[in-house]
Structure 1
Amino acid sequence: MSHTALSKWQGIKQVVVVGLGVTGLSVVKHLQSLPYDLTIKVIDTRAQPPGIEELGASIEVHIGSWNTDWLLQADLVVTNPGIALATPEIQAALEKNIPVVGDIELFSWAVNAPVVAITGSNGKSTVTDLTGVLAKSAGLNVGVGGNIGVPALDLLNDSVDLYVLELSSFQLETTSSLSLKAAAYLNLSEDHMDRYQGMDDYGQAKQRIFLHAETAIVNRDDLATYPSNSIPTLSFGFDEQDFGVVWLEAQEYLSKQGQPIIAVADLSLVGRHNLSNSLVALALLDCVGVPLEKVAPALKTYTGLTHRCQLVADNNGIKWINDSKATNVASTLAALSGLQLEGQLHLLVGGVGKGADFSELAPVLETLNVQLHCFGLDGDAFLSLHHSAKRWNDIEEIIKNITPTLTRGDAVMLSPACASFDQFKNFMARGDEFTRLAHLYAGLSS
């Protein structure tokens, strides 16, 4: 146990974990593993919180409502990132000077190996996954997770050489001690306006990634990504500075300081946004001393994340693309910018809009040969964006009706620009359903 961890835990006896699920369970498990005499209690306002059956009998649980008495008696509150700090019950604890942290803060107290982290409105899952894949290809033992896949606390292991974390603004709100070899802030676009007071508020939460970072990796085309504190920066973009692109003998290359690393034509990833994602992954690895020539072969073969511009079927030249992870407007715009189509695009949009303005999609849709199919809770908000827009109840109704009209060169893409919680457990379940239906109605075995 490090000296930092010992000092952080001094005087803490009563710990209240707020919110169960995968993250909450990882917190409880971590707390139980510590060599301290801690009393752990769990609060979840849901009547049947996921994971409750996995808690041991020694853990006191309060479900179905808040328990303010427990919160105000705690020495430490560990809250789930899905719970806003503005929640009155959490505010009551803060007003009593009771520390309120998240799982990433606990991770920062315990971690002993180098960490790099990625935040941003869009692209962070691809960058996180890609960075992990490339680091593993260079022979490192890598722990990849955070807001993607495995909770950070479940990654802790003495044999790990490098941790690669995706961090959401929600996680960063409750993190103040995380030391990073490099922190990448990819972009800032409208999202989660149901949680934040505005874009400044949202952007400031993401800026917290730079609090204890040795190097900031920023987007040359998005000044919001530059650190407000004075730390060294590396930038990425589509010119020859820092990490960028160069043209040599009529061929485009990803580059570092104008020196070519890998030909763009050799990449398996599709779309200009994935060139940016690749540049960030290379910059992160460069910051931890991984030789870039060593990871080039793995970068060539990387095909991307499930649910992110993922080709799930190709039936007689009709492409079915699962982009269910596009839960906001900017993600859908990025997906559309990377498309090259011979025929018509059938674009499926809708779900829970989170208070977003979808009008940015209209001018882009106008340039495409597209049929717009709107579904879900906020499907009506898309109807005015394009003259082809039709309203449907759900994804199956759309696919069942359009499949007989499809011809070679057409594409069907789920890129909803919305969250999934009206009709699905999460975006993964939505993408899996789209994939199942694509195989079913296209007559392919799944």
Structure 2
Amino acid sequence: MAKDGFDLVIGLGVTGRSVIRYLTDQGMPVRALDTRAEPAGLEALQAEFPAVKIHTGGFKPGWMKKANRLIVSPGVAVATPAIAEQIVEGKEVIGDVELFARAASEPLVGITGSNAKSTVTTLLGQVADACGMNPGIGGNLGVPALDLLNDDARLYVLELSSFQLETTYSLSADVATILNVSQDHLDRYASFADYLAAKQRIYDGCQVAVWNRDDLATRPPESVPKQITFGAHPEADYRLDSESGQLLCRGELLLSLSDLALTGHHNAMNILAVLAISDALSLNRDKALATVKAFTGLEHRCQLVADKGGVRWFNDSKATNVGATLAALTGIGESIEGKVILVAGGQGKGQDFSPLAEPARQYLRAGLLMGEDRSLLAQGMSAAPCELVTDMQAAVERAYALAQPGDAVLLSPACASFDMYKGFADRGNDFIRRVQEVCDD
């Protein structure tokens, strides 16, 4: 490193702050910039690191040229001209996960996918914790990767986005997985192929690749030393047998779907992925099975919040778009004997609700719709019986009256919450509170 050189941190969000903290702890000279004029938490950052020079409101060409390397936050595309220019000049451009990979000495699991990353990361972390591994759990979820290095972890479990993987070169995970791939982030990538290529970087240098046998886009290159598959495909190593309702490992019974607190095909896939990774790490299988059986999901993501009188209540308030509600409605509708009572509505953000029409017709006992765009949502689900309600209390009370044994009541709004709530968590908590009121009577 040049005597008067420095590392330049680009982006002052949670990740950027963790990078500054890590580099200063290492005694490295650091400067930082953010293209926003007033990034949140700027004053606190300046107070914590008074020796770090900070520039806001754009890129600073002189700093870009003089920096020894650029450490770019995932929210900033490396294709940005000011950064791409430095790459052409041969400058090293990396992210926080690359710094982490160079420093970490314990086994590492990397988890990516278009959906379910957080669920699988959290559940695998719980399994590892039950097995006494004191896991460091974070990355794209919760704690920034670099902040995990001081936790005396015996295993790292990282959720990784395609944005983080773009700037990661030496992850070399002990176990790596792509859970699934669907079109996403095409506002940042030139094509789906580019997005997939970013995801596939997680397999670089890995020892074991765990991939979805039902989704060939998740398949690793042949150079990976060992591959393990999961899915409903008959050739999957860890398989869901839908006819028998069993989760199997190469023909051996692991669990029955009826053993699980989680419901739905999509959650069965998540659990298979966790069990496959757990076995690849040689974690105690009995403890792993006990942990996955008890898992009720993440808050506000198809979270089981009550089970009374043969009716299960699910909080999926995080479903703020049609695609998320479609997955939840189909997943739960396929897995129960009865019907779904859907609580939905809010700010539709100009979405087309018609994709919900067929699953609503097939699975709904009723749709209870509230909020700003409830009428538009009703039009989209016109093939199913829908009622307009005033608020969450009215929706839950009506759902309680309509529900029959074997049914599920699902809050999965397909809409933003800001017409009635501070955010999706506030909405989900209101649902839980109202459910407790009717179920405790």
Q: Distance in 1 between matches of 2:36 and 2:297?
A: 36
Stretches of structure 1 that go unaligned for 5 or more consecutive residues are 1-8
Write the mapping of 1:5-404 to structure 2, written as runs, cut at 5 A: 13-36=5-28, 38-50=29-41, 52-54=43-45, 55-157=48-150, 159-228=152-221, 230-231=223-224, 232-238=226-232, 239=234, 241-245=236-240, 252-312=245-305, 321-326=314-319, 330-336=323-329, 337-339=331-333, 340=336, 342=338, 345-348=341-344, 360-369=355-364, 370-371=366-367, 373=369, 385-387=380-382, 398-399=391-392, 402=395
Q: Distance in 2 between matches of 1:275 and 1:422?
A: 34
Offset at residue 98 of structure 1 (A): 2.3
- Equivalent residues of 1:311, 1:319 under 8 A apart: yes
CA 1:302–1:319 in 2, change beyond 3 Å: closer, same or farther? Answer: closer
- Report the number of matched residues: 427
CA 1:225–1:357 in 2, change beyond 3 Å: closer, same or farther? Answer: farther
Q: What per-residue deviation string (whole Å, max 9, x for no partner) do you get for residues 167-198 of structure 1?
A: 11111111111011111111111222322233
- Equivalent residues of 1:399, 1:441 under 8 A apart: no
Counterpart code for 1:33: D
Q: What per-residue deviation string (whole Å, max 9, x for no partner) do you get for residues 103-138 of structure 1?
A: 111111111011011111111111111111111111
- Equivalent residues of 2:317, 2:411 under 8 A apart: yes
Counterpart code for 2:40: P
CA 1:87–1:335 in 2, change beyond 3 Å: closer, same or farther? Answer: same
Q: Distance in 2 between matches of 1:432 and 1:190?
A: 29
Q: Distance in 1 between matches of 2:211 and 2:125?
A: 19
SS at match of 2:132: coil
- Equivalent residues of 2:31, 2:54 under 8 A apart: no
Counterpart position of 1:415: 412
Q: Distance in 2 between matches of 1:323 and 1:228?
A: 35
Counterpart position of 1:4: none
CA RMSD of aligned residues (A): 3.7
TM-score calculated relative to the size of structure 2: 0.83
Counterpart code for 1:127: V
Q: Distance in 1 between matches of 2:421 and 2:392?
A: 17
CA 1:316–1:274 in 2, change beyond 3 Å: closer, same or farther? Answer: closer
Greater shift in the superposed pair: 74-83 or 90-99: 90-99
Q: What per-residue deviation string (whole Å, max 9, x for no partner) do you get for residues 318-340 of structure 1?
A: 86532233466554333112244
Percent identity, please.
40
CA 1:342–1:254 in 2, change beyond 3 Å: closer, same or farther? Answer: closer
Offset at residue 361 of structure 1 (A): 3.7
Greater shift in the superposed pair: 179-188 or 47-56: 47-56
Offset at residue 347 of structure 1 (A): 4.0
TM-score calculated relative to the size of structure 1: 0.82
SS at match of 1:121: coil
Counterpart code for 1:25: R
- Equivalent residues of 2:8, 2:70 under 8 A apart: yes
CA 1:289–1:317 in 2, change beyond 3 Å: closer, same or farther? Answer: closer
Q: Distance in 2 between matches of 1:333 and 1:44?
A: 36
Greater shift in the superposed pair: 104-113 or 73-82: 73-82
CA 1:320–1:207 in 2, change beyond 3 Å: closer, same or farther? Answer: same
Offset at residue 350 of structure 1 (A): 6.5
Greater shift in the superposed pair: 104-113 or 82-91: 82-91
Counterpart code for 2:292: L
Offset at residue 443 of structure 1 (A): 5.2
Stretches of structure 2 that go unaligned for 5 or more consecutive residues are none
